[in-house]
Structure 1
């Protein structure tokens, strides 16, 4: 379903990250949307006019994390995979990486692309943004599916465990917030760093081949991508504060699908979110680690399709 990474002249004039080759997925088109002053990259396909599903990826990835899920959804849905600010081929602003600010940009991009109501599915840091988006723009959502992520201020632990059996999953949260040090240590070593996450957090260390590792590492290395990736962690305290303030006024009222995996970070996403959401559904994907959309794409696509159908 995919072709090699190449540059596409017909879209390059809109691309704010020229140094990163575009990856193409058969049946899908690259788009850039004006999202309240930022250009965000989207990959669009599927059935125009059908129920829309918007996909967000997390660290250390791009929209490409959904490449195996998107064709399975395209027969029934209008599919949009969006790079977050600072991610992939989206613009990399100097600041504004708290999840409520980012959520407003993402929602503006979806509206700019002609979609007014949609289901949101998001993984890792993408799920941080999706949770905040559901709080701020819930009336535009049919539902939100959150995959294997602790949410700042809600379910993300305040303290990093020191037990080696658990610390390897979360040690980077503190490291990424240290001013300047990660940039000093990681510049020029993005491939080694990204490769560690992909191998350590997938159930099978063979899930990602060299080309995929190179793509994700190149995205972080290009045009301020490392700074932007770290900024989500550095603004996590602000994201937590805004989440708690919003939840003092309201609960999540949109349907929530909590997607966990057999060997992921959060054993039961739905249970962890249920105190703050009125309508939660649980699914656990077997034989997967943290990177569920790439490890078990068929199961993820089926779960999302069932979730959207239930809402219908």
Structure 2
């Protein structure tokens, strides 16, 4: 029996939506999709579901500093053929922000429980940035439930994420925040009340075109980080990265990634060749580079991302 889930199908005040643990945060709707909340092993997670119920299931995870909304343009294209589910990670968007370990194996267990609670036994997993950290760990621990794994522009803790932050100006701006987020208490002190400026820097500096995100989009993501527990949870993924790395290595000592893997890079992103970076750890890994894109590939080139995912599923099937 599936874990009970609450659903919201029509616009309304998020304060009055049953099961929503972040009721002070605006809740955007996407035509053809339904908001749902599920009990995922003790943590309440938010999912947005739509598309073809009889189609292959594709689960989408976003990274920092975004929410499920990062996938909206990709979701509407995939909905013609796939059963599409975008999930807010713990601490993200309208998911609960619990005081837990945010190492990626712990979080992966919650994500997988959420998918199972939605009645989806097997699925394709697609993830960006920190979402890709979680997806990599999930693929190691729940490989029998996955058809394939697509990861977008992310270094994986303990695997492809560097142990040190470069100090040359042309490289340091891409990764400086990894060290900053690890410092106890100081980021919270400096960022509280300034989430809009901080989030805006990432969204503008890491896209090829700085006008990819308008003011409303920046405000939307900043509000999620600023909402109760959001900043703490966002930093926790970085603060628990060493534990994520340790558990990744433990899992890889038992077995490599056995599901098909697609690495998607942006032409001007952080990881020049995602496929090559993942190949040492996977039995089947391919890669593509999306032209005219920086780090936030689903926002910058959504049609190219949707086409790549469609091809990946079709070829693997």
TM-score class normalised by the smaller sequence: over 0.9
- The residue that corresponds to 1:282 in the other structure is 287
Corresponding position: 1:173 with 2:197: no
RMSD: 1.0
- The residue that corresponds to 2:32 in the other structure is 27
Q: Please state whether the residue corresponding to 1:150 is helix, strand or coil.
A: coil
1:259 is matched with which residue: 254, 257, 264? 264
Corresponding position: 1:221 with 2:191: no
Aligned-pair CA distance for 1:8 = 3.9
1:42 is matched with which residue: 40, 47, 51? 47
Aligned-pair CA distance for 1:311 = 1.7
Aligned-pair CA distance for 1:13 = 2.1
- The residue that corresponds to 2:77 in the other structure is 72
Q: For structure 1, list consecutive stretches of 5 or more residues without a partner in the other structure.
A: 1-5
- The residue that corresponds to 2:7 in the other structure is none
1:308 is matched with which residue: 288, 309, 313? 313
Q: Please state whether the residue corresponding to 1:24 is helix, strand or coil.
A: coil
- Change over 3 Å in CA distance of 1:186–1:48 after alignment to 2: same
- Change over 3 Å in CA distance of 1:31–1:11 after alignment to 2: farther
- The residue that corresponds to 1:116 in the other structure is 121
2:143 is matched with which residue: 138, 143, 157? 138
- The residue that corresponds to 1:235 in the other structure is 240
Aligned-pair CA distance for 1:7 = 4.3
CA distance in 1, matches of 2:74, 2:186: 36
Q: Please state whether the residue corresponding to 2:189 is helix, strand or coil.
A: helix
In the alignment, is the contact (CA less than 8 A) between 1:203 and 1:288 conserved in 2?
Answer: yes
- Change over 3 Å in CA distance of 1:245–1:11 after alignment to 2: farther
In the alignment, is the contact (CA less than 8 A) between 2:103 and 2:237 conserved in 1?
Answer: yes
Matches within 5 A, 1:76-225: 76-225=81-230
1:49-91 deviations in Å (ceiling 9; x for gaps): 2100000000000000001100000000000000000000000
Matched residue pairs, number? 307
Matches within 5 A, 1:4-19: 7-8=12-13, 12-19=17-24
Q: Please state whether the residue corresponding to 2:29 is helix, strand or coil.
A: strand
In the alignment, is the contact (CA less than 8 A) between 2:61 and 2:89 conserved in 1?
Answer: yes
Aligned-pair CA distance for 1:96 = 1.6
In the alignment, is the contact (CA less than 8 A) between 1:7 and 1:21 conserved in 2?
Answer: no
CA distance in 2, matches of 1:246, 1:89: 30
Q: For structure 2, list consecutive stretches of 5 or more residues without a partner in the other structure.
A: 1-10
Q: Please state whether the residue corresponding to 2:95 is helix, strand or coil.
A: coil
CA distance in 2, matches of 1:9, 1:177: 33
Q: Please state whether the residue corresponding to 1:22 is helix, strand or coil.
A: coil
CA distance in 2, matches of 1:40, 1:280: 30
- The residue that corresponds to 1:3 in the other structure is none
Aligned-pair CA distance for 1:11 = 6.4
CA distance in 1, matches of 2:35, 2:190: 33
CA distance in 1, matches of 2:115, 2:83: 12
